[in-house]
Structure 1
Amino acid sequence: MFQHKRFNSELTFFQKVKNLDYILIFCIVLLSIISVFVMYSTDGGEILYHTKSHFIKILVFFTLMMVISFFNIKFWHITSYIFYFSIILLLIWVAMYGIKASGSQRWVDLYFIVLQPSELMKIGVILCLAKYYHRLKIDSVNSLLSITVALTIIIIPIILVLAQPDLGTSILIASSGLIILWLGGVKIKYFFISFVTFLISLPFIISFLKPYQKLRVLTFLDPDRDPLGAGYQIIQSKIAIGSGGFSGKGFLKGTQSYLEFLPEKHTDFIFTLFSEEFGFLGSIGLLIIYTIIIIRIIRIGVLSRSNFAKFFCFGFAFAIFIYIVVNLSMVLGLLPIVGSPLPIMSYGGSSMLATMIGFGIVLSAKINHRQTIA
Structure 2
Amino acid sequence: MSVFERRLIRETSFGLTGKLWRIPWLYVLLLCTLAGVGYVALYSAAGGSSEPYAAKHILRFAFGLGLMLSIALVDIRFIARLSWLAYAGGVLLLVLVLHMGHVGKGAQRWIEIGGMQWQPSELMKIALVMALASWFHKASWERMGNPLFLIPPAIALAVPVVLILKEPNLGTAVITAVVGGTVFLGAGLRWWKVGLGVAGVAAAAPIAYNHLHDYQRARITTFLNPENDPLGAGYNIIQSKIALGSGGMWGKGYLQGTQGHLNFLPEKQTDFIFTMIAEEFGLVGGVAVLVLLGLIILGGMAMALRCRHQYGRLVALGISMNFFMYVFVNIAMVMGAIPVGGVPLPLVSHGGSAMITVMAGFGLLLSVHVHRDVEFGEGRDEV
Aligned to 1:112: 115
The counterpart of 1:122, out of the listed 116, 125, 128, is 125
| Contact 1:117 1:350 survives alignment (8 Å) | no
Aligned to 1:236: 239
Aligned to 2:183: 180
What letter matches 2:136 in structure 1? Y
> Mapping of 1:164-179 within 5 angstroms?
164-179=167-182
Q: Measure the CA separation in 1 of the matches of 2:292 and 2:77.
A: 29
Q: Measure the CA separation in 2 of the matches of 1:40 and 1:268.
A: 16
Aligned to 1:275: 278
Aligned to 1:132: 135
| Contact 1:301 1:314 survives alignment (8 Å) | yes
Aligned to 1:61: 64
Q: Measure the CA separation in 2 of the matches of 1:209 and 1:75.
A: 41
The counterpart of 1:352, out of the listed 328, 350, 355, is 355
Aligned to 1:73: 76
Aligned to 2:381: none
Tell me the CA shift for residue 131 of structure 1. Answer: 1.0
| Contact 1:24 1:296 survives alignment (8 Å) | yes
TM-score w.r.t. the length of structure 2 is: 0.95
Aligned to 2:163: 160
Aligned to 2:9: 7
1:82 equivalenced with 2:85 (yes/no): yes
Tell me the CA shift for residue 135 of structure 1. Answer: 3.2
The counterpart of 2:211, out of the listed 202, 208, 212, is 208
Q: Measure the CA separation in 1 of the matches of 2:260 and 2:370.
A: 42
Q: Measure the CA separation in 1 of the matches of 2:283 and 2:201.
A: 36
Partner secondary structure for residue 49 of structure 1:
coil
The counterpart of 2:318, out of the listed 305, 315, 319, is 315
Aligned to 2:54: 51
Q: Output the aligned Cα RMSD.
A: 1.3
What letter matches 1:369 in structure 2? R
| Contact 1:44 1:252 survives alignment (8 Å) | yes
Unaligned runs of 5+ in 2: 378-383
Q: Give CA-to-partner distance per residue, 1:208-243, whole Å, 9 cap, x none.
A: 111000000000000101000000000000000111
Tell me the CA shift for residue 147 of structure 1. Answer: 2.1
Q: Measure the CA separation in 1 of the matches of 2:144 and 2:180.
A: 15
Q: Measure the CA separation in 2 of the matches of 1:96 and 1:146.
A: 33
Aligned to 2:380: none
Partner secondary structure for residue 81 of structure 1:
helix
Partner secondary structure for residue 295 of structure 1:
helix
Q: Measure the CA separation in 1 of the matches of 2:240 and 2:22.
A: 42
Tell me the CA shift for residue 112 of structure 1. Answer: 3.2
Q: Give CA-to-partner distance per residue, 1:129-151, whole Å, 9 cap, x none.
A: 11111132321112222222222
Q: Measure the CA separation in 1 of the matches of 2:105 and 2:85.
A: 31
What letter matches 2:129 in structure 1? I
Aligned to 1:369: 372
| Contact 1:247 1:278 survives alignment (8 Å) | yes
Q: Measure the CA separation in 2 of the matches of 1:221 and 1:71.
A: 47
Aligned to 2:346: 343
Aligned length: 374
Aligned to 2:228: 225
Unaligned runs of 5+ in 1: none
Q: Measure the CA separation in 2 of the matches of 1:97 and 1:359.
A: 29
| Contact 1:8 1:370 survives alignment (8 Å) | no
Q: Measure the CA separation in 2 of the matches of 1:126 and 1:8.
A: 27
What letter matches 2:243 in structure 1? A
Q: After TM superposition, what 4+ stretches of structure 1 lie above 6 angstroms from structure 2?
A: none
Q: Measure the CA separation in 2 of the matches of 1:198 and 1:300.
A: 32
Q: Give CA-to-partner distance per residue, 1:36-55, whole Å, 9 cap, x none.
A: 11111111111222222222
Aligned to 2:34: 31
Deviates more, 1:286-295 or 1:315-324: 315-324
| Contact 1:122 1:354 survives alignment (8 Å) | no
TM-score w.r.t. the length of structure 1 is: 0.97
| Contact 1:242 1:276 survives alignment (8 Å) | yes
